[in-house]
Amino acid sequence: MKYVEFKIGETKIEFHNSIFGKERVVNNGKTISEKHSIFGAKHIFKLDEQIFELKSSCQSFTGIGINLELVKNGNLIEKKTFAPTKQSIIGVIFGILIGLSFVRIIFSLYIQ
């Protein structure tokens, strides 16, 4: 799921993240970095002979939301914060409830 988009001239850098912690950085439709993360990651990639870093981290205090920093050659270019929508929060809660239900069913099978 695409969360945030950065535009630098003609270059478009997108940050994608899944509920399973898979982060991807996409440049003009092509994946240029991919990592698994729970609390954040640092993606380092090269575009047009320039070194970029896209740093992701959880928002302080709430832990709900993602802070993103785009750095070019060591200089901060742009900071963005993504806060989840009601639908994504409901989806996560629904997934947790389904997971707990499966665990409960499995334990009940082994206890008998």
CATH number of the domain where residue 69 is located: 2.40.128.180
Mean pLDDT of 12-27: 87
Mean pLDDT of 53-61: 80
Q: Each residue of 97-107: pLDDT tens digit? A: 888 888 888 88
87 pLDDT exceeds 70?
no
Q: Into how many domains does the chain fold?
A: 1
* Structural domain includes residue 80: yes
63 pLDDT exceeds 60?
no
Bridge partners (DSSP) listed for residue 2: 16
Whether pTM > 0.75 for this model: the answer is no
72 pLDDT exceeds 70?
yes
* Structural domain includes residue 65: yes
Looking at residue 8, what is its pLDDT? 84
CB burial of 17-27 (b: ≥16 within 10 Å; e: otherwise) equals beeeeebbbbb
* Structural domain includes residue 106: no
Banded model confidence at residue 26, pLDDT cuts 50, 70, 90 = very high
Does residue 67 contact residue 56 with C-beta atoms inside 8 Å?
yes
* Structural domain includes residue 96: no
Does residue 56 contact residue 66 with C-beta atoms inside 8 Å?
yes
* Structural domain includes residue 91: no
Domain that holds residue 14: 2-84
Task: Tell me which DSSP letter residue 106 carries.
Answer: H
* Structural domain includes residue 103: no
Q: Each residue of 43-54: pLDDT tens digit? A: 999 988 889 999
